[in-house]
Chains A and B, each alone.
Chain A
C-alpha cells in the first residue's frame, strides 16, 4: 500500500534534485527549472498531507494552487529579465553576469 511516507519521500527527493540543479547549473533558465522542481516537490507534500491528514478540508490543495500560480508569475518575470539580458549580450550564462562582483 502507498502511504504518506512514500509521497513525502518522492517530494523530498524531488526537492533535493531541484536544489542541486538550482545550485549547480550555470544557465539562468536551467536554474529556473531547478526552482520549479523544488516548488513541485512542495506541491506533492501539500497535496499528500491534505489527503492523508485532513481529507475533509482542502487547505493543502488550495495552497498548492496558489504555489502554482505564484510560480508562473515568478517564471514570467524571470524569463522576461533573462530575455532582456540576452538581447543585450546574446548569452544567458549566469557566470558571465559579472558587472557586479560576487
Chain B
C-alpha cells in the first residue's frame, strides 16, 4: 500500500469542503451563520495538522511530492483562507446568498492551491491549477446583485482559460520532448537529451501561463479589473494565495524540470521582473480606488518575488517563500481594513477614507502598518523580506536590478503614504459615525498586526524554516 498518511492535509481539506456543501443543504437557511464558524474551525484544525507535518517528506503514487517546501506553502494557504473566512462573515451575510456554498468554494480553492504547490507531475499540476482558477471565477462573480462582480468573474474566466490553454500547450510540448509527465524524470531527460526547439517553445508558453497567474507585466491586464469587481475578501485571497500557489508551482517546474535551461529562462524572468516592478509601481500612483491601488501594488510585489526566482539559489527560493508568507499578513491586513470600511460606508474610494483614524484607530492603524510592510519600511516584516530578496540577487551580481528594486520601493512609499495622509490628516465627513467592526474581525486584525511586527523584529525562526524548505531543489 502507498503511504497515504502523507496526504492527510489534502484529504481533510477535500472532506471539509464537500462536507460544508452537504451541511449547507441539511440545515435551514436561517441557521447558516454557523457554517462560517464550522469552516473557520475546520481550517484551524487542518492548519494544526499541517504544522505537525511540516517535516514530512515522501512521494505518493510516483507523482505527488510531499516535502517541507510544499507543506510550508500549504500552511500559508490555510492561514490566508482562515483570515479570508473571518473577514467574510458580515460581507457574505449581507449578500444574502447560500453561505455554505461560499465557504465550500473557498476551501476547494485552497485545495486546488495545495495540489498546485505539491504536485510533482504535470497532469495533477494542471488539475490543481484549474480547480483553483474555476473556483475563483465563481467566487469573483459571487456578488450576484452587483454587475461589476459578474463582469469580474467573466473576465477572469475568459482570460484565465486563455492563459491556461497556452500553458497547457507548453505542457504538451514539454511532455512531447521528454516523453514523461513526472517533473523529476523530465529533469533527467532534459539533462541527457539537451534542449530542443520544441522544449524551448514549451518553456516560453509555460512561463507565459505562470506569468498570468502571478500577474507579471505584460500579463497583468486582468488583475485590476478583477480585483476591483470581486467581493473584497475574495480579492484579498486571490491576491495573496493564488499568487503564492503559482510561485510554488513555478519553482517546482522550473527548478525541478528545467534547471539545465536556466541560462535561457533567467533572461526571460529578468525582463518580466523589471517590467513588473517598474510598471506596477508607476501605474499605482494615479489610482483613486483602494482596490485598484492594491491591485497595482500587488503586481509590483510579484515583481519583487520574481527577483528571488532570477537569483536561482537557495537564498532566492527561501526569500520567495518568506516574502510570500509575510505578504499574506501585509496584503490581507490591507484588505481586511478595506472590507471593514466597505461594510460600514459601502465605498472603496480613497478620498472617502479621509479622517478614518478618528473614526476607527484600529482599522486605520492596520491599513497604515500593512502598507508600510508592503513598502518595506523597517521594523515591519516587509523590510526583512525585501532584504533577503535583494541579497539573493546581489549575490548573483545583478546589482543594477537590486538598485532598480530599491528605487521603485521608494516610489511605492509615495502612493502608500497618500492613503495614510487621507486617513490621518483628512477630516471625516460631516455626521460620520465610528466604524462598527465585528469582534471576530477585530481579533483577526490585531493578530495580523502583531504578526507583522513580530516577523519584522524577530524573523529568524520563519526565515530558517523557509530556507530549509528551499534546500530541496538544490540537492542532487
Chain A residues at the B interface, C-beta cutoff of 8 Å: 8, 11, 15, 18-19, 22, 28, 31-32, 35, 38-39, 41-42, 45-46, 49, 53-54, 59-60, 62-63, 66-67, 70, 73-74, 77-78, 81-82, 84-85, 88-89, 94, 97, 99-102
Tell me if B465 counts as interface (CB < 8 A to partner A).
Answer: no
Asked if A60 and B169 make an inter-chain contact with CB atoms under 8 angstroms apart, the answer reads: no
Contact B165 A78 (CB under 8 A): no
Q: Contact at B175–A63, with CB atoms within 8 Å?
A: yes
B152 at interface, CB cutoff 8 A: yes
The DSSP consensus for interface residues of chain A is helix
B150 interface residue (CB < 8 Å to A): yes
With A39-B168, A94-B158 already in contact, 7 other A-B pairs whose C-beta atoms are closer than 8 Å: A19-B162, A31-B162, A35-B162, A42-B168, A62-B123, A63-B122, A70-B127
Most chain A CB atoms below 10 A, which of B122, B161, B181? B161
- Cβ–Cβ contact B150 & A53, under 8 A: no
Q: Which of B154, B162, B228 has the most CB of A within 10 A?
A: B154
A sample of 11 inter-chain contacts (CB < 8 A) reads A19-B166, A22-B158, A32-B161, A53-B179, A59-B181, A66-B123, A73-B130, A78-B154, A81-B150, A94-B158, A99-B151
Known: A84-B150, A85-B150. A38 touches B162 (CB 8 A): yes
Which residue in chain A gives the minimum CB-CB distance to B226?
A: A100
The count of residues in chain B whose C-beta lies closer than 8 Å to any C-beta of chain A is 39
Which B residues are CB-close (under 8 A) to A97?
A: 151, 154-155
Tell me the minimal C-beta distance from B190 to chain A in angstroms: 15
Which of B's residues lie within 8 Å of A, judged by CB?
122-123, 126-127, 130, 134, 137-138, 141, 144, 147-148, 150-155, 157-158, 161-162, 165-166, 168-169, 171-173, 175-176, 179-181, 221, 224-225, 228-229
Pick the 6 closest A-B CB pairs, nearest first: A38-B165, A49-B176, A45-B172, A100-B225, A81-B154, A70-B130
Instruction: Assess the A45–B134 pair: CB atoms within 8 A.
Output: no
| Residue in A closest to B151 when the chains form the complex, CB atoms | A97
Q: Which residues from chain B contact A100 at a C-beta distance below 8 Å? A: 148, 151-152, 155, 224-225, 228-229
